[in-house]
Amino acid sequence: MVKHASTSEAFCPGDAEGAICRLEECIRGNYCKGTAGWGVVRETAHEVAVAEADRPVSHDTDLIEVAFRAVLAGIVQEALGKGEDVLDEEKFGLRALLDLALDLAQAGREEQGPGLGLRSVFFLLEDIFELLGVEQIQNFWPEVEKRESALFGLFKTARKSNLTMLKLCNSLLRKLSKGHNTAICGRIMMYLSRNWELSDPSAINKGGMANLSNKTAFEEPEDFARQQAREAEKTRRDEELRVA
Question: Over 70: is that where the pLDDT of 50 sits?
Answer: no
Question: Over 50: is that where the pLDDT of 8 sits?
Answer: no
Q: Which percentage of the chain shows pLDDT scores above 70? A: 77
Provide the pLDDT for residue 93. Answer: 85
Number of Cβ within 10 Å of residue 139's Cβ equals: 14
When pLDDT is averaged across residues 139-144 and rounded to a whole number, the result is 92
Does residue 170 lie in a domain region? Answer: yes
Provide the pLDDT for residue 52. Answer: 62
When pLDDT is averaged across residues 20-30 and rounded to a whole number, the result is 77
Domain containing 191: what range? Answer: 2-199
DSSP 3-state percent helix, strand, coil across the chain (nearest 5): 65, 0, 30
At position 12, the amino acid (one-letter code) is C
Of residues 211 and 67, the one with the higher pLDDT is 67
Determine the distance from the C-alpha atom of residue 69 to the mean position of all C-alpha atoms in its chain, rounded to a whole number: 13
Report the C-alpha dihedral over residues 196, 199, 202, 206, rounded to 10 degrees: 170
97-111, 140-154, 182-196: lowest mean pLDDT where? 97-111
Does residue 212 lie in a domain region? Answer: no
Query: Which burial class, exposed, middle or buried, applies to 8 when counting CB atoms under 10 A from its CB (0-12, 13-18, 19+)?
Result: exposed
Question: Over 90: is that where the pLDDT of 142 sits?
Answer: yes
DSSP run (H or E) holding 11: strand 10-11
Does residue 237 lie in a domain region? Answer: no
Does residue 96 lie in a domain region? Answer: yes
| 29 Rama class: left (phi>0) / alpha (psi -120 to 50) / beta | alpha
User: Model confidence over 75-131: pLDDT tens digits?
Assistant: 888 888 888 888 888 888 888 888 888 888 877 666 555 455 677 888 889 999 988
Of residues 46 and 218, the one with the higher pLDDT is 218
Three-class SS of residue 215? Answer: coil
Closest among 30, 26, 68 to 47, alpha carbons compared:
26
The answer to whether 40 and 100 are in contact (CB under 8 A) is no
Residues 6+ positions from 187 with CB-CB distance below 8 Å: 141, 145
Provide the pLDDT for residue 191. Answer: 92
Does residue 161 lie in a domain region? Answer: yes
Per-residue 3-state assignment (H helix, E strand, C coil) for 114-138: CCCCCCHHHHHHHHHHHHCCHHHHH
Please count the structural domains in the chain: 1
Provide the pLDDT for residue 185. Answer: 93
User: Model confidence over 66-75: pLDDT tens digits?
Assistant: 888 888 888 8
The Cα–Cα gap between 90 and 202 comes to: 38
Does residue 232 lie in a domain region? Answer: no
Provide the pLDDT for residue 53. Answer: 59
User: Model confidence over 149-182: pLDDT tens digits?
Assistant: 888 888 776 667 788 888 999 999 999 988 889 9
Determine the distance from the C-alpha atom of residue 148 to the mean position of all C-alpha atoms in its chain, rounded to a whole number: 12
Does residue 193 lie in a domain region? Answer: yes
